Structure 1
Amino acid sequence: MSVWDELTGQSEAIEVFRAAAASAAPASASREASSRASASRSTSTPVASAPFAGAPAAGAPAAVASKGEAPSASNDAAASHGAMTHSWLITGPPGSGRSNLAYAFASALLCRNGGCGVCADCRQVAARTHPDLAVLSTDRVIISIEEVRTLVASSQFSPSVSRYRVMVIEDADRMAERTSNVLLKALEEPPERTVWILCAPSEADLLPTIRSRVRSVRLRIPSTDDVARLLERRDGVDTATAERAAREAQSHIGMAHRLATNHEARARRDETLKVALGIRSVPGAVLAAARLLELAKADAEAITEERDAEERESTLRSLGVEPGQAVPMGLRSQVKTLEEDQKRRATRSLRDGIDRILVDLLSLYRDILLRQLESTLEPINLAIHSEIEAAARDTEPAQTLAIMDSIAVARTRISRNVTPALSLEAMLITVALPSAPRKAQL
């Protein structure tokens, strides 16, 4: 099984990267042969070298059209050309598989067999431990300028065991403008065998100066059938569970995996919908907001708690501190730095957990609205079909739309650092009111 078999719903993007990796292999071999021949000559003439022979300039379109968008002629030409370049940007909605595609491409570049998926190189890339792979991912709200400076400095090193050195930045949209500027020179003039891969939700999330230095590949939302088949093939999930998880995750690959394989995550989602459907009064809405916040915290802790404990144990071991032993005074600052990092990571994890709850609530009221309008579109939450039918009878479409508006407003408020509890209470009071204004104020 190759690294490309772990991906789903992105056939056009896969072909772009597969062709680029294939074209990079002979280019690398040719350069190495040329270098050996040049070194054997007593005299030589300086020759300007490009990172990849025949590669279009950075910023040239090699993108895959977004869902519902026809590929342009230039996109088709670039994709069919399959040329390699030194800087890439993978964009797509959350759950579309941006990071998975980035690491598949990294494996194809670092593996001697083009990404076989079974060799030591591929296993090391999957574990993020390959010596020629550098990764910058963050669980914080932003990527710090110090992290980017460190990554840029490490990009100057030559590959140690493979043809290339690959630099991956996940969530590149979390870089502030000042931080992004640190990347510019590295993207424009990287070392000859360094490849940059950036991931972000959309091109608009990055500075124009960054976009002009990369080749962009846009991903589409995979279909629920594609995601379900991936869960069956990769995780051994039965068909019914895989289809339900893919549908309720709305084709978000990572969330579908959690819903299909984690009973607690499934139970938390089910309770979220039950809490919302049970609201009958303003006091009930306030209590429901508190319960939803508890569910979000539990979800966030489930994701971060085990990792934080392993990280702390590993750090103490590297400092020579045995389990249960008191941390020496001289080492406490390093442990405190780790704890502060984990606290910031917990903040982002909680925000993500709240946002997942709000997305689930949007799917609930979307289903209610479809039933009220007698639409033939398939509902997302088939498992609670009877409850949705009852809610559709008890409310009017105008109120359902007002509730959906209030959920969107709550997401915006929380992204702007409004207290989550207050945002959730204001949102759910709209659910409790017999009639609500169509538009809430931010």
Structure 2
Amino acid sequence: MTAALTAPFPWSDVWGQDAAVQTLRQAASDPAALSHAWLITGPPGSGRSTLAYAFAAALIADHPDDENAMRQVLAGTHPDLTALRTDKIIITIAEARSLVERSYFAPSAGRYRVIVVEDADRMVERTSNVLLKALEEPPENTVWVLCAPSEADLLPTIRSRVRAVRLREPEVADVARLIALRTGIDEATAEQAARHAQRHIGMAQRLATDEGARRRRDETLRAVLGVRGVGTAVEVAGHIIQAATDDAKTLTAERDAAERASLLRTVGVAEGQAVPPALRSQLSALEDDQKKRATRSLRDGIDRVLTDLQSMYRDVIMLQFDRDDALINSELQADLAALAAAWPVERTLIALDAISDTRETLQRNVSPLLATESLLVTISSGRTP
């Protein structure tokens, strides 16, 4: 039985994390069990942010039946909630300093002031150091809630100042059931989406509801399977980067236009009217932020493709060891079985290592196209560069 079926509001959207919900519910209701800083860790899609905001809602509400306050928290509009969710590659020092300043404000309406930091792993060392004193000696009624994939993603000095809550990875069946319930999609499509997303709830929901995303994923995997040399490696790499770029533009274009229109409306500039010189710096700052968000969106898109490729070669390894009972890409089983028979295990491991190295490389300032081309040449040749 999942937590979503047993826990009351505001915990009802947290699926499959009964132990974590129980720990945080106890902390929200018993001051003796409440730490001043928490770290929620778990794999992508496990529900870190959902749990963080449910915890914040329970902390801020005056009592367990104060649904109005809790709904405000979940909507991100309560004055005692400060949340940072970055669309950029890193969390900046300026953003961290702003959080620290807010943490010293007394609660204005609720029991606690809660600071939620999503993607806390995106803080470099200098930025993390800004938080240290605030985490070590916060005001009595302030609670910090950080979210990250793992404790290892944060500095030891940060880890020593927080209480960790580790989420378990949900089962495919759990994610499929949730997606079917949320979207009304048929069970077979929901199961396939959950499996292809490797139990990442957000990605599973997108695959379940976006036929184009499902098609692009299938075409990409089949294209990589068809790479036979440098020529096709370069061609397929180009297609992968172009598809990721188009996807990133689709995800960000509408939001960018809405933000620009909102800014111009706020400063009194009518649509189509020239922007006064005094306001151009504000517009330029917005555009810089949007460019950084677009860069992250592109990198995230390429990383999703690499994650899919990892799942494919993981399936090949499974087949090479005569395991066909838990394939992620069972629709490609015949092709993967042929590859498993043709390749030695060592070559499949080279492919998996190359994908991991490429994912790390793309976190630095390298050309995504060149990195992807190099990866596909390595996979097709079975030799490391």
Q: TM-score, normalised to structure 2's length?
A: 0.92
Q: Does 1:351 align with 2:299?
A: yes
Aligned partners of 1:208 and 1:285: how far apart in 2? Answer: 41
Tell me the equivalent position of 2:79: 131
Q: Does 1:103 align with 2:53?
A: yes
Tell me the equivalent position of 1:142: 90
What is the aligned counterpart of 1:197 among 139, 145, 148? 145
Structure 2 regions of 5+ residues with no counterpart? 1-7
Tell me the equivalent position of 1:267: 215
Aligned partners of 2:320 and 2:300: how far apart in 1? Answer: 30
What is the aligned counterpart of 1:379 among 316, 327, 343? 327
Measure how far apart 1:115 and its partner are.
7.3
Measure how far apart 1:368 and its partner are.
2.4
Aligned partners of 1:376 and 1:386: how far apart in 2? Answer: 11
Q: How does 1:415-434 map to 2 (within 5 A)?
A: 415-433=363-381
Call closer, same or farther: CA 1:273–1:323 in 2, change over 3 Å: same
**Which entry has the higher C-alpha Rg, 1 or 2?**
1
Measure how far apart 1:249 and its partner are.
0.7
SS in 2 for 1:237: coil
Q: Does 1:303 align with 2:310?
A: no
Contact 1:265 1:299 in 2 (8 A): no
Tell me the equivalent position of 1:17: 24
Aligned partners of 1:160 and 1:22: how far apart in 2? Answer: 19
Deviations 1:95-134 (A, max 9, x none): 2211111011111122345377xx3323322321221111
Tell me the equivalent position of 2:198: 250
Aligned partners of 2:290 and 2:342: how far apart in 1? Answer: 45
What is the aligned counterpart of 1:175 among 123, 128, 132? 123
Measure how far apart 1:89 and its partner are.
0.9
Aligned partners of 2:72 and 2:223: how far apart in 1? Answer: 43
Which one-letter code corresponds to 1:324 in the other structure? G
Aligned partners of 2:44 and 2:96: how far apart in 1? Answer: 23
Q: TM-score, normalised to structure 1's length?
A: 0.81
Measure how far apart 1:418 and its partner are.
2.4
Structure 1 regions of 5+ residues with no counterpart? 24-51, 55-82
Q: After alignment, is 221-230 or 333-342 more displaced?
A: 221-230
Which one-letter code corresponds to 1:266 in the other structure? R
Aligned partners of 1:237 and 1:108: how far apart in 2? Answer: 32
Measure how far apart 1:324 and its partner are.
2.1
SS in 1 for 2:139: coil
What is the aligned counterpart of 1:84 among 19, 24, 34? 34
Deviations 1:320-375 (A, max 9, x none): 12222221111010000000011011111111111110110111122223223322
Deviations 1:55-74 (A, max 9, x none): xxxxxxxxxxxxxxxxxxxx
SS in 2 for 1:199: strand
Call closer, same or farther: CA 1:399–1:176 in 2, change over 3 Å: closer
Call closer, same or farther: CA 1:233–1:113 in 2, change over 3 Å: farther
Aligned partners of 1:125 and 1:271: how far apart in 2? Answer: 41
Aligned partners of 1:353 and 1:201: how far apart in 2? Answer: 18
Aligned partners of 2:300 and 2:314: how far apart in 1? Answer: 21
Measure how far apart 1:148 and its partner are.
1.0
Call closer, same or farther: CA 1:317–1:365 in 2, change over 3 Å: same
Call closer, same or farther: CA 1:204–1:314 in 2, change over 3 Å: same
- What is the aligned-residue RMSD (CA, Å)? 1.9
Contact 1:248 1:256 in 2 (8 A): yes
Q: Name the % identity.
A: 56
Deviations 1:267-313 (A, max 9, x none): 22122112112222320111001001111112222222222222212
Measure how far apart 1:393 and its partner are.
4.3
Deviations 1:187-227 (A, max 9, x none): 22222211110111222222222222211111121111121
Which one-letter code corresponds to 2:214 in the other structure? R
